[in-house]
Amino acid sequence: LSLYLSFKKVIKSNFKTSFMLLNGDNTNRFFHSQKRFEELGLNVNIMNGVLRDMKIDMPSKIQALSYNEILHGTTCIVADQTGSGKTLSYLMPLTQRITELQRNKTIPMGPSRTPYIVVVTPTTELAEQVGVVIRSMSSTMKFKSACITSLADVNAAQRKLRLGVDVVVATPGRLLQLLKKKELSLDRLQSIVFDEADVLFMDESFPLPPIGEACPDDCQFIFVTATLPDIVIDQIMAEFPETRELTGPGLHKISPFVEEELVDCSLEKRQIGSSKRVIDANKAKVLSKKVTSMLEAIQNTDSMRTLIFCNTIGQCRQVENALRRADK
C-alpha cells in the first residue's frame, strides 16, 4: 500500500483577517446546517442555556445529521472532519435525554459509582478537552461529571464517583482500572462514546473488549471519528450489525481554507522471497523520506504554529524525536 505524508497549510493572514474569514458567509455555508436545533429534537427548556452560554445559533451539519438519532438511542458511527462540531453532536443529545429521564423520574438521580454516560478517549489531552466542554454544560444543566485520566488525582476521582456522577470521561486504562477496583460500575449505563474510534480500534494496546463486556446489553454505543478506514467500519459492523453510519459532508475532504500537499512515500515494490533485512531497509528509507519531507514542509511554510497528525502514539514519538534532533 502507498503511504502518504499529508501537509496542511492554513492560508497566510493575520489573526483579525483569519477571524473574519472563518466567520464569513462562505464558512457558514460550509460548516452550518440550514435547520434549526428545534427541528432536530432539541428541548429548548433544557438546552437553551447551553446554546446561550456557548453562543451557538445554528447546528453544524454533523450535529443536524446525528442529533435525533443519538437522542433516540441509536447505536451509530459519527464521522466528520476535525473541527466540525462532533463533540457537541453527541454531548448535547445525550445529556438532554438523561435530563429528561431524570425529570420524568424514569431513572434515579446520580446513583453512586454508576454513571449514565461514559466517554472513552485514546489520550489524556482529548479527555481533558471533552471534560472542559462537559463541565461548561453541567454548570447550566446541573448534572454531575468527572474526568479521570493519568493526570487526575485518583483518590479525588474515586470520592467524586462515590458521591454520584452522571457523566464520566476517561482514558481506557483508567476506566478499566476503576472497573477492576469496583470503584465504577456500568450496570446503569445508557450510552458509551468512543471518541477518536479510529485510533482506539487500530491500536490493539487499548483494553476495549473488557470495557465493552461491562456494558449492559441495551447500552447505546457511539463511535466518533474524523477518519473512517474500512478496517474500523468492518470491526464495528461485525459486532454491531445494526449500527447507523452518520457521515458528515466534510469527511475526508479538505476545508476550503486549507491547502493540502501530498508527498508520495511509497514502499519499494517488495520482491517475492525478500529477506527481512531488505524489508527493514526499505522501511528505513521510507521513514527517512517522510522525516525529510516533513522538515522541508515546516521550513518552507511561513507559519507560527504547525499541527502534525499521526496514526499512532508510537509515530507521534518518532516525529517528536525527529524534530528534537533537527532542532539541535
pLDDT in tens, 34-64: 899 999 999 999 999 999 999 999 999 999 9
Stronger pLDDT, 166 or 21, i.e. the higher one: 166
Task: Characterize the bridge pairing of strands 117-120 and 220-225.
Answer: unpaired
Beta-strand (E) ranges in the chain?
A: 4-10, 76-79, 117-120, 145-148, 167-170, 191-195, 220-225, 244-247, 258-264
**Residue 47 identity:** M
- Distance of alpha carbon 41 from the chain centroid: 23
Stronger pLDDT, 254 or 199, i.e. the higher one: 199
Supply angle C-alpha 276, 280, 283, rounded to 5: 145
Helix (H) or strand (E) holding 96: helix 86-103
Say what the pTM is.
Answer: 0.75
pLDDT for position 157: 82
> Per residue in 101-146, pLDDT tens?
988 888 876 567 899 999 999 999 999 999 999 999 988 898 899 9
Any idea what DSSP says for residue 218? T
Distance between CA atoms of residues 259 and 261, nearest Å: 7
> Per residue in 57-113, pLDDT tens?
999 999 999 999 999 999 999 999 888 899 999 999 999 999 999 888 888 765 678
Distance between CA atoms of residues 219 and 243, nearest Å: 13
Strand order in the sheet with 244-247: 145-148, 167-170, 117-120, 191-195, 220-225, 76-79, 244-247
Q: Is the pLDDT of residue 5 over 60?
A: no
